[in-house]
Structure 1
Amino acid sequence: MKLLRDSQLTLLWTARIDYSKGSQVEPHTHSDYDQLLVVLSGHGKVTFGQQECDMQEGHAYLFMKGISHSFRFTGQSVTLDFKFRLADPEMADYFSSIQPFSLCESIHLAELKQWYKMSLLQARKPGRFHPMSIEAGFKGTLVSLLASNGSIQSGPYTELGFKESNDPIVHYMKMHFAEKITLGMLSKHFGFNPNYLIKRFFDKTGMTPIQYLQEIRLEKAKEYLEFTDLPISEVAEMVGWTQAYFSKILKKRTGLPPSQYRDSLLNAIGQDIILEENFSNVWRIVP
């Protein structure tokens, strides 16, 4: 039985690739697919045809098929790379007509990391996710990213699943999650009785404020483990926890202590995650 795929966009391949200083990908073109390169950290130079521009952290670069491109890194860099095929001519024409690079708002970065992680988990355990759900999600992020007019509010933390961003208490905790936050402090800051604040917040989110804060911290800590090489002690400190408490809560939630959780994802660095059986990726990295 043939699996359904998205009718407008087929995601072919993805990978997290860490580049050393001075490495580069030489000029080349793709004849039958397009590519999105997301720079999570680092910097360098990128060319589109005859145009050269700076490659910056937190930016995404779109290489459409038939357009010569290359990039080189002037510092240690971490990237997410997506290769896909557009079946919708109008969508392809639209992408070809707009600026091929864009600043990733925090919501876009969170979503792109999500599609990469879902692809990795699907590759490790086929059937865990439907390929079409990954493709449709990636397509939505791609359109939003490239068509963004700056109206999306960015911040230090935006994550899928947290939909209560209009709530001032939620917004405050997302902005200050690394600081010491107690129920008493929240009550005083927002002028609510503690019992009323808990009820008001629970009615909106299904959690108490402190439970919600723990979720924010845990998701951010996992992201640091997954996409940075920060020491575990520093990761814990950056989300407002001690290392011992961080290890305890992460093991309770995932079954793995921080070092093993990180290793389970780091062994995928530089590996092809192929989502289309007939797709073969050709590497052109020059150290």
Structure 2
Amino acid sequence: MQKEVRTVCYDDDLQLEAYRFEGIAQPFPNHFHDYYVIGFIEAGTRCLSCKNKEYTVAQGNILLFNPSDNHSCVQCDGGTLDYRGLNIPKETMLLLAEEITGQRVPIGFSENVIKNEELSHYLHSLHQSIMDGSKEFEKEEMLLLLISLLIEQYGQPSGNCIPEYSEEIENACAFMSEHFAEHITLETLCKCSGLSKSTLLRAFTKSKGVTPYRYLQIIRISKAKELLEKGAAPADAAVQTGFSDQSHFSNFFHMFIGLSPAAYRRIFKEGGKNHG
């Protein structure tokens, strides 16, 4: 079996994260991110589920995930995955959209899986430039060209239709965002939302695509990433984000991010590329 290689690099100039996974067999459970993801499959075939739609994605496919797009994937060809991707924070994308359109308005992608040779060229070239540590402004050009084409061909105003019990669900989300480091129970979420347990679970999962507990774990992982980026030790990050123990934290982190907390921390501690 091909050896796993996971390479991640944060680009200070562009304010985004680039990563390359090679020889990966790991499945990723249903989750979402609070940033945009633009990915490209170099090799391998995966069964992808995104927002209740099923896809078979393979070499040449570009994946577009908006913040909060719930998705999961598993290898379905008996082989492994070679994949390169960009994680773009919402603020960075907002600045890019303003530069391109003249309007500081959040954007969303209308499709989650596409195939486009021109976009693939820009994505591949930009990704390689970041991985090589280029300091030339060519990479900024490529990023603007890539996002310009994406907005032109697949862009739409961000935001979905108002779901049932939207205010109650947002109250539960706000509570978890504020109290993520504490012990939270389903009963507590019911009290702050004003919904029964069964109604909350059904309405929340329909609206967010994940259960309340999975939503909380994703928030905790997101907060832990911020702490690790600032140099916090994995054990401290685990405690400060409400995980019961470091093993529990490490398992969740690897399951969602594809790296161990320590490997992710090294990206920022060493100021560049990390192999894991």
Question: Which TM-score band applies after superposition, normalised by the shorter structure?
Answer: 0.3 to 0.5
**Structure 1 length normalisation: TM-score?**
0.39
Look at both structures and tell me which one has the larger radius of gyration over its CA atoms: 1
**Structure 2 length normalisation: TM-score?**
0.40
